Chain A
Amino acid sequence: MTQGPSDADDPAPTAPILEAHNLHKHFGGAVAVDDVSLEVRPGEVHAVVGENGAGKSTFMRMLAGILVPNEGDVVMDGTRLEPGSPQEAIDAGISLVHQELSLIPEMTVAENIVLGAMPTRGGFIRRRALKATAQAALDEIGVGVDLDEPVSRLSVALRQFVEIARAVAREPRVLILDEPTATLTPAETDYLLDMLQRLADRGLAILYISHRIPEIFTICDTVSVLRDGELVGTVGIDDTSPTDIVDMMVGRELKQELQADHESNPQGVVLRARDVRAPGVNGIDLDVRAGEIVGIGGLVGAGRTEFVRAMLGADPRNAGTVQLTVDGETRLINSYGQAVAAGVGYVPEERRADGLALTMTVRDNIALPNRKALSSPLGVLKRGQIVTYAKDLADDVGLRPPRIELEAGAYSGGNQQKIVVAKWLGRAPALFVLDEPTRGVDVGAKAEIHRLVRSLAEQGTAVLVISSDLPELLELSDTIHVVRDGQIVGTLPRDVADESSVMALASGGTSMIGV
């Protein structure tokens, strides 16, 4: 991605196309967005950044008419939009690319792109017009996908692009993207940023939500920072720096924590996996020692998650032996139940889908894996003990606010991930496996989760981390195994590994997206 500063002419002093006037939104007593005003001009890429829970998504959803603001107006081309009408927002030219993919897996690429704006005649779908519209949208963003392919067969990255094509097919004048790169690899991210730049050059106004500061400095003209629902400031990209932005986002100094290193002192082998095979996993060997953090890098779809799940027995395994040695006793792991009983803690990739019971309290979520230790031999829960137990763990992971009687679903992504970590901390796992531990998590929570992982390793826990976030992988891991096509294609010790060496192994030197 070489976006030269040559064409970075200042945003032309054209009239703003979209304006937010003093938007305010609260859910019950909790203020999500407080008096935020913002303007976007045609051709401008405007970043909205902030920690999780800062109110970015709520703000965007008000712009798109999905949420009704308690106060304030959304104005498009000088006309006030009806609050809470997504259809009017779309008609006015505002298109939102959702953070959580909203495609229908069983439908084809073409059907998904035109969904909601099906070309019909007398109630019948016009197949040819449908395909033409879809193709035009894909051409516009420069992505080649078979129109008749079911979306379920596409990679995560391609699905994200189809999602963008769908927004573009509505011929928007303002495009809102909510964390579009969260699930993308660096190569895919570069491709997406190029695409957005081209769209902006053609006069589209883009609102871009992201946690990733380098991306913002690659394509954005203006940055607005939200913190605790309030607008901290809007600055031109040339008048600021990454450190300034982070300081505005967190409002506190984090650098020390981010830089902190841990003493690695690996001891005996805890996990010993040999020739693990499963769909997408083609024979992987892995050792993890006590007190060591082993990282697994690779592109999305390389088979990392599949490997870990098959290894732990969470998904069926075709072949392979997995042993766990705890306190000198070695046990064979053939099912997930055995893995947990032997001392494995597993933080899954999808925390909302797989990690938490969102309608249960934080207390119950934390107590769940350790319920046996918190009940009498007959299975009667020791309720007082559970409260103390959950409270202590919520404090340990820095849950904010530490209200264990709230439903887990009431918390933001970073806090939810802390709850998932807390669930396992109480069992003092011998092997702690974390899959994408900080995806979609704000800077502060990320630092705290990293601190926890490091301190666990220092106390002798064997830790296995899967991450698509290269700086995270490099910062945490003592050793990095890079997975490609379901195999380990290279192993890099801490002092050798850097972003380019991991990426070179992960990508195999070829580009990810064949367009």
Chain B
Amino acid sequence: MSEDTSTQATVDTVASDPPPGQAPELEQQETTALQWIAERGIFLFTALLIVIAAIFVDGFASLVNITDVFNRAAPIGIVAAGMTFVVISANYLDLSVVAQVATSAVVLIAVNNSAGLVPAIGVAIAIAIVYGLVNGVAVGVFKANAVIVTLATTFIGIGILRWQSGGSIYFAGEDSLIRAFGTAKLGPFPLSMIVFVGVSLALSYVLTRTTFGFVIKAFGSNPEATRLAGINTAWVVIGAFMLSALGAMIGGFVLAAFSQTAVSSMSGGYDFEALAAIVIGGTSVFGGKGSVLRTLLGVIFVSVLSNIMVLSGLGFGVQQMAIGALIVAAVSLDALARKAATS
């Protein structure tokens, strides 16, 4: 826009705001401090955390450390970005990402070693589609509970993987592309970090700018109203689980490249770590509200916090405890803000 009049002087004038003078009956709705924190807190807290770490924590504010944080966060971040769609569709979470990530990583390395990269990616895509379909059909068509369904598909998936792999560890070939990817950099940035941010932005676009994302949000807010708007809601749920499967597949690739190895037990805890990032980012576990960018911030927040703790010499136990406490705080805040908005 190129207006040079002073009418647009206010800083926060957004194109989508109604023009002034249209709504004399209702004053600008005040938000309580609680709602403000629930809605915008993650932006503030992430910024604060980074500033504090940069000032007080030795070794934090170096390019090596920062890129390392991103590099380590990449697999879980990509998984969380995909799973965000399941959470927004009010289906709680996709536990089966644990099985999906490990399967994707093992398939990528094992099939690449025996048949090459293209067949490896092809098989991984086929497996992701099967996961998305099975979870999506059970939840979207048969209306089964998402937690139980994905818990069951985790069992099935891990079971198949152990049975087929015999629990063995697969190593990426010495001069394979996977190994190269794991160490590649674009300028100062590791490739996995770029994939992480790229996938997050792409999925964010899908959620905010496409009819598909729009309908997922509507479904999460009120499934029946969405159905009565003439939308085939089974496909909405299947789509959400498909995107979760896509995230888990890419997350598995990045994890395999980062570790240079793959084993059926490598992704334990990915389900809850992804959920932690999503809810700390401020996406509502009640569905209908949230964004992929929030998840990205949630991942950064949790990763930076862990990094600070590591640099400060605090053990893994303390990290786990802190993240658990943060989840309780985040979901309580979400529930309180929701209550404040409706009372």
Contacts and interface: CB of A to CB of B under 8 A. Distances in A.
Contacts of B25: 400-401
A144 B30 CA distance: 49
Given A340-B230, A401-B23, A401-B25, A409 B341 contact: yes
Contacts of A337: 230, 232
Interface string A351-382: 00111111110011001110110010011110
Contacts of B226: 357, 368
Given A355-B228, A358-B222, A381-B211, A410 B16 contact: no
A341 B230 CA distance: 8
Given A28-B32, A336-B227, A357-B222, A404 B217 contact: no
If over half of B's interface residues share one DSSP class (helix, strand or loop), that class is named, otherwise mixed; here it is: loop
Given A354-B225, A381-B214, 14 more contacts: A353-B224, A353-B225, A357-B221, A357-B222, A359-B289, A360-B288, A368-B214, A379-B210, A379-B211, A400-B25, A401-B25, A403-B26, A405-B17, A409-B341
B211 A314 contact: no
B251 to A, nearest CB: 25
Contacts of A383: 16, 209
B216 to A, nearest CB: 11
Interface residues of B, number: 40
Interface string B9-48: 0000001111000111111111110000000000000000
Contact of B22 (A27, A30, A360, A401): A401
Contacts of B231: 368
B229 interface: yes
A402 B22 contact: yes
Interface string A8-49: 000000000000000000011110000000000000000000
B264 to A, nearest CB: 37
A262 to B, nearest CB: 27
B263 interface: no
A380 B209 contact: yes
B218 interface: yes
A314 B228 contact: yes
Contacts of A156: none
B14 to A, nearest CB: 9
10 contacts: A353-B225, A357-B218, A358-B222, A367-B214, A371-B211, A401-B22, A401-B26, A402-B18, A405-B16, A409-B342
A254 B279 CA distance: 49
B211 A372 contact: yes
A406 interface: yes
B18 A405 contact: yes
B31 A381 contact: no
A303 interface: no
A348 B224 CA distance: 10
A346 B17 contact: no
A109 B309 CA distance: 57
Contact of A368 (B15, B29, B31, B229): B229
B17 to A, nearest CB: 6
A28 B31 contact: yes
Contacts of A375: 210-211
B26 A360 contact: no
Centre residue among B18, B221, B228, B288 by max chain A CB count within 10 A: B228
Given A30-B26, A401-B24, A402-B23, A369 B229 contact: yes
B225 A357 contact: yes
B189 interface: no
Contacts of A346: 228
A346 B212 CA distance: 22
A275 B289 CA distance: 43
B128 to A, nearest CB: 21
A387 interface: yes
Interface in B263-286: 284
B323 to A, nearest CB: 27
A227 interface: no
Nearest to B31: A28
Contacts of A379: 210-212
Contacts of B16: 363, 383, 387, 405
A142 to B, nearest CB: 35
A489 to B, nearest CB: 28
Contacts of A339: 230
B343 interface: yes
A164 to B, nearest CB: 25
**How many A residues are at the interface, by size bracket?**
35 or more
Interface string A133-174: 000000000000000000000000000000000000000000
Contacts of B22: 401-403
Contacts of B80: none
A423 interface: yes
B342 A380 contact: no
A360 B341 contact: no
A30 B29 contact: yes
A67 interface: yes
Contacts of B18: 391, 402-405
Nearest to A68: B343
A30 B27 contact: yes
Contacts of B27: 29-30
Nearest to B22: A402
Interface in A297-322: 314
Contacts of B225: 353-357, 368
A372 B26 CA distance: 32
Contacts of A391: 18
A358 B221 contact: yes
A404 B209 CA distance: 18
Given A371-B214, A380-B210, A402-B18, A359 B221 contact: yes
B165 to A, nearest CB: 38
A481 B343 CA distance: 41
B215 interface: yes
A356 B227 CA distance: 11
Nearest to A66: B343
A369 B29 contact: no
Interface centre among B26, B30, B288 (most CB of A within 10 A): B26
Q: Which of A340, A357, A360, A383 has the most CB of B within 10 A?
A: A357
Nearest to A378: B210
A391 B159 CA distance: 54
Nearest to A369: B229
A29 B284 CA distance: 25
A29 B29 contact: yes
Closest 8 CB pairs of A and B: A340-B230, A357-B221, A28-B30, A29-B27, A401-B23, A357-B222, A369-B229, A401-B25
Interface string A380-395: 1101100100010000
A364 B15 CA distance: 16
Contact of B218 (A30, A348, A364, A403): A364
A378 B211 CA distance: 9
A363 B221 CA distance: 14
A44 to B, nearest CB: 30
Nearest to B230: A340
Most chain A beta-carbon neighbours within 10 Å: one of B221, B226, B229, B341: B229
A383 to B, nearest CB: 7
A175 B278 CA distance: 46
Contacts of A359: 221, 284, 288-289
Nearest to A335: B232
A336 B30 contact: no
A336 B232 CA distance: 9
B17 A336 contact: no
B288 A357 contact: yes
A74 B284 CA distance: 36
A387 B14 CA distance: 12
A405 B14 CA distance: 11
